[in-house]
Structure 1
């Protein structure tokens, strides 16, 4: 495992297309029981090298009911975005994850996580990979059907402050989904 993680940390497959160069950001330990499958690191995460070290991460930890220490314990939580490096800025936010990353690394890393009990899916690229039969469903519809994939998978809206409007329009999410998510996380990590 150490060799695989070392290889990932040195990856430069798509460096020529990255505005700030390659800096893969993951959290990985084969003992992890929860996987957070996101999109790609943002600029703050690229700068710090710490996954979800931003406002999105604060909200995500709140949703999961975890402290910073619990969240950053790789023995419990694996964090594998679809693209490991900051892809750059687009017209309405960050660019999508680079397409080279998942085919190069994802299957190997997932195969090395035998203890997973819950996969948190954030964003359409992670959704297309982890729940391929749902890739044409709109986010709201997919999140509303959360029980269909429970208790092994849960699709969440991205915890970014950009989604505050979605959260206000969908109060059922905080009332129905988040309490169950917190309970499940606590069960898995006991």
Structure 2
């Protein structure tokens, strides 16, 4: 798919209202605002969960403390992170899904994956590294390679990188969500920062040519 095709796909996504007008379950309670950054040149794809309230307001992915932590994990600043020629961003849910009774974000809308994700990934064959953030992205991108839970999946990151590379597609690196809610998880698993993040930063440099 060339530039016109990818731009056309992005334009379709920007007008998507399926979760409001043809929902799979309860309709989205607010006006949809799809947030994604597609690219025909980016070799790194950030596959997250879904926009939160701040991203819904800004229309720009990861404009929140989670984004600051993710950029620190990757070892890059906003100028690189938001360069669509270098990094593509595709959450499992393209719109803010709303809040649950406890004030947390609801799961990503299922309509997004069914409608868009296979088409989007087919339009970006140049991607060589996928950062699969959280259980929803890992379920989609890893399929049967995902382990029994998020901790087990992230802990198996070396094997998963090797397994995904061997099947001929992009390498996939599983990550927890960079939310402050995961601070306790990060403290319990010091190998994440000492080993996994060191490898992540090396791979980012390799893919971005920095």
Q: Does TM, scored on the shorter chain, surpass 0.5?
A: yes
Per-residue CA shift, 1:83-133, capped at 9, x if unaligned?
A: 100000014520001111111111111011121110000111111110111
Counterpart of 1:13 (choices 4, 9, 18) is 18
Look up the match of 1:126. 137
Given that residues 18 and 87 in structure 1 are in contact (C-alpha distance below 8 angstroms), is that contact kept between their aligned partners in structure 2? yes
Task: Answer yes or no: is the 8 Å Cα contact 2:146–2:153 preserved in 1.
Answer: no
Kindly report the root-mean-square deviation, in angstroms, between the aligned alpha carbons of the 2 structures.
Answer: 1.2
Q: What is the match of residue 190 of structure 2?
A: 171
Q: Larger Cα Rg: Structure 1 or Structure 2?
A: 2
**CA-CA distance at 1:148 after TM superposition:** 1.1
Matches within 5 A, 1:52-91: 52-91=62-101
Q: Secondary structure at the match of 1:131?
A: helix
Provide the TM-score with structure 1 as the length reference. 0.96
Residue 150 of structure 1: which of 158, 161, 164 is its match? 161
Distance 1:150 1:134 in 2: 10
* 1:120–1:155 CA contact under 8 A, matched in 2: yes
CA deviation string 1:37-91 (max 9, x = no partner): 1111001000000001101000000000111010001111111011100000014
SS of equivalent residue, structure 1 residue 147: helix
Contact 1:124-1:135 at 8 Å conserved across structures: no
User: Runs ≥4 in structure 1, deviation > 6 angstroms?
Assistant: none
Question: Which residue, 37, 54, 63 being the options, matches 2:47?
Answer: 37
Shift of 1:134: 4.0
CA distance in 1 between partners of 2:157 and 2:146 (Å): 14
The aligned residue for residue 186 of structure 1 is: 205
Output the CA distance in 2 between the equivalents of 1:146 and 1:50.
Answer: 28
Q: Give structure 2 stretches of 5+ with no counterpart.
A: 1-5, 22-26, 163-170
1:98 maps to which of 98, 105, 109: 109
Between 1 and 2, higher relative CO (CA 8 Å, sep ≥ 6) is seen in: 1
Q: Count residues in correspondence.
A: 190
In 2, distance between residues paired with 1:79 and 1:12? 20
Residues 127-136 or 30-39, more deviating: 127-136
Q: Distance in 2 between matches of 1:91 and 1:42?
A: 15
Partner SS, residue 110 of structure 2: coil
Q: CA deviation at 1:20?
A: 2.5
